Structure 1
Amino acid sequence: MSMVQRGSQRARTMITRARENKRPEDSVVSLVVKYLLFAMNFLCWLIGGVMVGTGIWAYIEKNKYYHVQIQHIYDVFFDLSIIFLVLGLTIWILGFAGCLGALRENICLLKFYYIIIFIILFLELTVCIMAFLFRSKTKEIVTGGLNKNLISRYDKEDPDVKDFIDFIQENIECCGVTEEGYLDWNTNKYYNCTEKNRSALKCMVPHSCCINQFTISEGTTNLFCSGQVLDLSNSAAKKQIHTIGCIDKMLILGKENLPFMGGIVLAVIFPQLLAVYLARKLESQIRDQMGL
């Protein structure tokens, strides 16, 4: 064996021994990055598990009394049990991948983790940008879809939709969905003001539209507090109910509270950006340590 070959073999042996005898303090993997990523995802993993459990429990309990068949996307959007289940499962899977990937320094899991989060972040930003650039069209699509699939389904057969609409109308003081506002309730089979309607709620709107729901006694909701407002003009109806549509009211509130809305956007985006940064940083450190 030549001197060059012997020297090369000796160098490889020394490198191998150095790697085997490497002390923990010589590691290029930052413990701060590693355990910060682990802690973030362990928390997400727990939250995701709780959400999955809550979603399953809520779905089972709901279907004991009501069975709402899923026919289109709006049935999913306004079924809180399904939303909790889907979001919880997504958070649980990502939390598990990030948690185990950081703890075991697994490059494949880390790569899966930050790629999925990056895709989610990209989709969120794309939707926001497209909604901003095509505001009129977006508003038209959203209001049309909600009016068709929410107002007409406000009844005892779908309590989730009913509770959701009441919550929105009460808390942001609106009524209906579109620019027509309270008149949207003419499309509901119980409230419409047509001759064919034999319901006791004819020509009314839900109690959640009323300025004062407690017209009988404090703490007792009067389901008939709106009177016959669908037969009244907008100016006359304003004395009893909130007449503006909920989409328009949300847009007004958004413009009036831009700093708050910006804070919400940052609160959603920043953790995702931090997670991607930490995962990529840890992956890079692991590769450096492995000599890849």
Structure 2
Amino acid sequence: MSGNHYKGHEVSCCIKYFIFGFNILFWVSSCAWVTCGVLSNLSSITDLGGLDPVWLFMVVGGVMFILGFAGCIGALRENTFLLKFFSVFLGIIFFLELTTGVLAFVFKDWIKDQLNLFINNNIRAYRDDIDLQNLIDFTQEYWECCGAFGADDWNLNIYFNCTDGNPSREKCGVPFSCCTKDPAEDVINTQCGYDIRAKPDSEQKDYINVKGCVPQFEKWLQDNLTLVAGIFIGVALLQIFGICLAQNLVSDIEAVRASW
């Protein structure tokens, strides 16, 4: 009778090893985050008010590693404490993501101003670091934009401003990444932005992208709203699925122990 009673309550191997595989992703992701934080020169290409962004990568990587450890060991060893820790912590992260999404929608104008400030601060330091320079050039080429809200934002840079005392050859110009692309050109003309802003506004649009990166980013979000929403919903459902699996496994383990 006792043997039949025990067989009535069994831990699902499918759930157990599915949670293990689910948490392997956390471990792999945590290694990627930590590696990016250690190997990249983020502190020199960003300005976060004195906060070194390397620590952000390290903290996120550390949290993901702890979650992966708790989920993997909890599932393999059938440890209800670690499984409960995993599900509760994942639930807290889900709640924080949801709160962040709501706040981002409510304070979208403030975020827009901060993005403008961030881009302008990095424009000032454009020639100070090659990593920063490549980042800005990639952004302007990808979004087909120039400056935060327009090409005149490059007046903030000591090499590109239009002041009379500026001895730079790049005076009143913009980086080559602001230039409109000619499909017939195989080699990038890095001097295409020279003296562009000395021309009338009506002529500038024939040579450079006159739209700012902030409006272009907003336009991209609007055009790809379904994709962005789908990614966030997919991540949220994956987290809820992980929580449900962990709670289900905890229930199975407790039922087996109660039947002993």
Q: TM-score range by the shorter chain?
A: 0.7 to 0.9
Q: Cα gap change, 1:95/1:68 in structure 2, threshold over 3 Å: closer, same or farther?
A: same
Alpha-carbon separation, structure 1, partners of 2:121 and 2:176: 20
Query: Are residues 1:147 and 2:119 paired?
Result: yes
Alpha-carbon distance change, 87 to 160 in structure 1, aligned in 2, over 3 angstroms? farther
Q: Which amino acid aligns with 1:154?
A: Y
- How far is 1:190 from its partner? 1.7
What does residue 246 of structure 2 align with?
A: 279
The answer to whether structure 1 residue 212 and structure 2 residue 194 are counterparts is: no
- 1:176 aligned partner: 147
Rate the CA distance shift 1:188–1:251 in 2: closer, same or farther, 3 A: same
User: Which residue identity lines up with residue 131 of structure 2 in the other structure?
Assistant: D
Q: CA deviation at 1:236?
A: 1.9
For 1:150, what is the secondary structure of its paired residue? helix
The corresponding residue for 2:102 is 129
Q: Over aligned residues, Cα RMSD in angstroms?
A: 3.1
Counterpart of 1:99, as a letter, is C
The 8 Å contact of residues 190 and 202 in structure 1, kept in 2 or not, is answered as yes
Unaligned runs of 5+ in 2: none
Pick the aligned partner of 2:135 from 136, 155, 164. Answer: 164
**Is 1:199 aligned to 2:181, yes or no?**
no
- Tell me the equivalent position of 2:219: 252
Contact 2:70 2:85 in 1 (8 A): yes
Name the % identity.
Answer: 36
Render the CA deviation track for 1:206-257: whole Å, top value 9, x for unaligned: 1111112799x623x2222113222334432111111111111111122122
CA distance, structure 2, for counterparts of residue 162 and residue 38 of structure 1: 42
Structure with greater contact order relative to length (CA < 8 Å, sep ≥ 6): 2
Unmatched 5+ residue regions in structure 1?
1-13
Higher-Rg structure is 1
**CA distance in 2: counterparts of 1:269 and 1:163, whole angstroms:** 33
Paired position in structure 2 for 1:7: none
TM-score (norm 1): 0.76
Show the counterpart of 1:230.
197
How far apart are the structure 1 equivalents of 2:169 and 2:248? 64
Q: Deviations over 1:254-273 (max 9, x none)?
A: 21222222222223322222
